[in-house]
Every structure is written in structure tokens, then in C-alpha cells.
Amino acid sequence: MTKKREYTIYKTNEFGDIYIISDGEAIVHVELFADGWEKMNNQYEFVKSDAPLLQEAVKQLDEYFRGKRTVFQLPVKWEGTPFQQKVWQALCDIPYGETASYSDIAEKIGHPKAVRAVGQANRANELAIIVPCHRVIGKNNALTGYAGNRTDVKEKLLQLEQHYRSG
């Protein structure tokens, strides 16, 4: 049986269409890339919706992109292992406009040798921007591993945050 999901699209000039997906109770996915959206269409039955939760997510993303929001206050549902969920919670603790390395996150969650596993959990994050995986960088400050090597998007998100944080 195919799972049903509600979605809406937040349109941006800088990043294109951002797909926001809900299970009716919480935000379960934020997709920045059309190819990711196309892959999900094989897994779920999607219904375009203007449900209040999705409209609130659009409002909060709009505030984020205008520098008016630094923390999201939306119900989210993480689907992952306990380790992944620890990583994702740690990502939410990285302050707006700042970055942390994969090893910083590994240390924070009590698994200092699990740097690669942190990278894999970061990659599995389905709540882009809301769970700010773009704030995680390589130990040498390299912009690594964002959404299939889309480091250009990671860089733009970090620049946006640094612009509003300093201005």
C-alpha cells in the first residue's frame, strides 16, 4: 500500500522550488532538489495541499530566507535510527550563522570516533534547512558532502545566514 503525503511548494528565486511534505501531523521532508522530488514520487501518493501545517512551514521558511527566523518551530517527524536522531538533534543545536565539523558533532553525541557515521546521518537528513545539515563542514573548513555534492547550495545557505547574522 502506498503511503499518502500532503505537500506544498515554496518558491524561491535563489534556490528554486522547495517541496515541503507532511504526513498530516508533522513535517516529514523538505526537498531542495527536483531529482529528489522525482525519486519520492515512486514511494508515496502525494496530494497538493494548503493545510495549516504546510502553510506555517512556508511562512517560517520565508522568514528564514528574509533573515527574520533563526530557529524553526514546527512539528517534525524523523525517520531514522537512534544514532541518526542523535545527530539530527545535535544539528539543531548549531547556532544560526555558525558551523560545526563532523568531528564536533561526533564528540557532542558521545561517539568521537564515529565521524563517518555522522556524515552518513547528515546525508540521510530529510528535513533540509529545518534540521540545518548545511551548517556541518569538514574539519579543515571545507564545504563537503551536501545533497549529492551540491556544495554550491550549502555555500549559499551559509552566506545567507552570515549576511543576516552580521547585518
Length of the chain: 167
10: β partners: 18
pLDDT-derived band at 53, boundaries 50, 70, 90: very high
Q: What residues are annotated to the active site?
A: 133
Class of domain 82-166: mainly alpha
Strands 44-48 and 3-12: parallel
Distance CA 124, CA 30 (A): 12
Residue 55 pLDDT greater than 80, yes or no? yes
In angstroms, the CA 84 to CA 122 distance is 8
Whole-prediction pTM:
0.89
For residue range 85-143, list pLDDT tens digits in order.
Answer: 999 999 999 999 999 999 999 999 999 999 999 999 999 999 999 999 999 998 777 66
- Structure-model confidence comparison of residues 1 and 15, the more confident one: 15
Q: Which of 103, 152, 100, 102 is nearest to 123 (CA)?
A: 102
Instruction: State which H helix or E strand residue 17 sits in.
Output: strand 16-22
